[in-house]
Amino acid sequence: MSAFVDRAQLHARAGDGGAGCVSFRREAHVAKGGPDGGDGGGGGDVWLVADHNQASLLGFRDHPFRRATDGQHGSSKRQHGARGRDLEVAVPVGTVVFDLEGEPLVDLSVEGTRWLAAAGGLGGMGNARFLSNERRAPAFAEQGERGEERWLNLELKLQADVALIGMPNVGKSTLIARVSAARPKIADYPFTTLVPNLGVVRVGARPARPGDATEFVVADIPGLIEGAAEGRGLGHDFLRHVERAGVLCVLLDLAETAPLSPKDQLEVLLRELGRYRPELLERPRIVVGAKADVAAHDWPADETISSVTGAGIDRLLGRLATLVAEGRRQRDAAVAETLVVHRPAVREVGVERVGEGEWAVTGRAAARAARFSDLTDEGALAELERRLRDLGVERLLARAGAADGDVVHVGAVAFEWYRHAGVGAPSGHHRATRRERLARHGRLDDGEGPEPEDGSGDA
């Protein structure tokens, strides 16, 4: 079985955040110690990192799961939990990441590029964080946030300097074996090569000045046939590896056994390249007549070679090295001027109707606002109301047509909503609305003025 894999799936699971602690100071001679619960640690992130030491996606074929560690819970005496460790997942340079709908997310085409595949959950705040002049003994804390979890599709596009292109059995594998240390399978039948082969070529090395040599990577792309751009044979699987090559080396079979004349071979190859990616026809290319030792066609090419005898090989490599060096200078200049940063789209807070008198608040920020350990606590309810108001949830619900008493879902929390009062009772519980509680204590003006403070209005 081949060890080269250029398509795979990844399941990235970030670590969960640790829970905040509810604790009060308990020491001798301290009658009423204040809150001292520590924060939970954040969960670890999952990062994809482009690495030249990775040659294919083989490591994901049988083991697609990658998970970072969870954050630790907070504890008393304001001790914060440790953060989970990040996980760096090495992928080959040239890996493109897609979501399951086929939307491209990031192109890791530069060594060392990092991309956040799954963000760790935030750690929950301990009750010491909620101490204020109005709230002297908060008895609630935050739960840790769950880390992100997602399936991703990975696709590798080889990062070769030169792509060898030709019809099946034209001699590409023989050429790459001649000029590099690569040893691809070679046989006298079409489609010997079923996966791309890479070889490193060194040109111009001298014993006294080894630094003068030019090294470049040559990709032996499996043979193309007519209709490859539409996916005939393994057309799409092969053609995408041509996209990143800076120079195209087009090999034409000059032997009498060739199924097409050199002219027809060139027309088919260029037509398929153009139909797949028109910009490929603008790349620098050299047209090479192969199998010169058994040539039966006298057809003008940029170069004529024999991979068996070595005739014309050195001159071809010299021309390729010149084109590769020029292409590298142009690419380096372009990279220096433009830096593309891929960022995930921000998920805004929104409101959706999920049933009659029932609504869901969407967005990660809203879910974060409701992660309390005890939503039956008065202080926790007040804090939740404040957070949702700051996020504009009350305004969004009003615009969407929510009515008093409707059930609103935020993350795993459901509560009854009342206009201007915000959070009411947790769904399924009977308790006064916050508006009623505020009015009862003279903190809400209903147009009749505040109630008397002596309690005479509570008859």
Q: Which domains does the chain have, with CATH numbers?
A: 1-156 (2.70.210.12), 162-337 (3.40.50.300), 350-458 (3.30.300.350)
Listed in sequence order, the residues at least 6 apart from 312 whose beta carbon sits closer than 8 Å to its beta carbon are 292, 303, 304, 305, 306
Q: In the structure, what pLDDT confidence band is assigned to residue 458 with cuts at 50, 70 and 90?
A: very low
- pLDDT for 285: 92
Give the SS3 label for residue 124: coil
Please provide the size of the chain in residues: 459
Is it the case that residue 454 has pLDDT exceeding 50? no
Tens digit of pLDDT for each residue in 193-206?
Answer: 446 677 778 887 55
- pLDDT for 2: 44
Tens digit of pLDDT for each residue in 223-238?
Answer: 565 544 444 444 445 6
Q: In the structure, what pLDDT confidence band is assigned to residue 433 with cuts at 50, 70 and 90?
A: very low
Q: What radius of gyration do the chain's Cα atoms show?
A: 33
If you count DSSP H runs as helices and E runs as strands, how many of each does the chain have, helices first? Answer: 9, 19
Of 15-24, 65-74, 331-340, the range with the lowest mean pLDDT is 331-340
Whose tokens are 């390729």? That residue is 320
DSSP 247: E
Q: In the structure, what pLDDT confidence band is assigned to residue 442 with cuts at 50, 70 and 90?
A: very low
Of 27-31, 60-64, 274-278, 407-411, the range with the lowest mean pLDDT is 27-31
Beta bridge partners of 251: 166, 288
Of 221-230, 356-365, 418-427, the range with the lowest mean pLDDT is 221-230
Listed in sequence order, the residues at least 6 apart from 62 whose beta carbon sits closer than 8 Å to its beta carbon are none
Tens digit of pLDDT for each residue in 53-95?
Answer: 787 788 898 899 999 999 999 999 999 999 999 999 999 888 9
Q: What burial class does residue 115 get, using C-beta atoms within 10 Å of its C-beta: 0-12 exposed, 13-18 middle, 19+ buried?
A: buried
- Highest mean pLDDT range out of 28-32, 79-83, 175-179, 332-336? 79-83
Q: With both helix axes pointing from N to C terminus, report the angle between 172-179 and 313-337 in degrees, rounded to the nearest 10.
A: 90
CB 288 within 8 A of CB 250: yes
Is it the case that residue 165 has pLDDT exceeding 80? yes
- pLDDT for 141: 92
- pLDDT for 156: 86
Specify the higher pLDDT residue, 297 or 91: 91
- pLDDT for 136: 84
Short-list 130, 37, 27, CA closest to 75:
37
Listed in sequence order, the residues at least 6 apart from 402 whose beta carbon sits closer than 8 Å to its beta carbon are 351, 359, 408, 417, 419
- pLDDT for 343: 52
Integer Cα distance of 62 and 53 in angstroms: 20
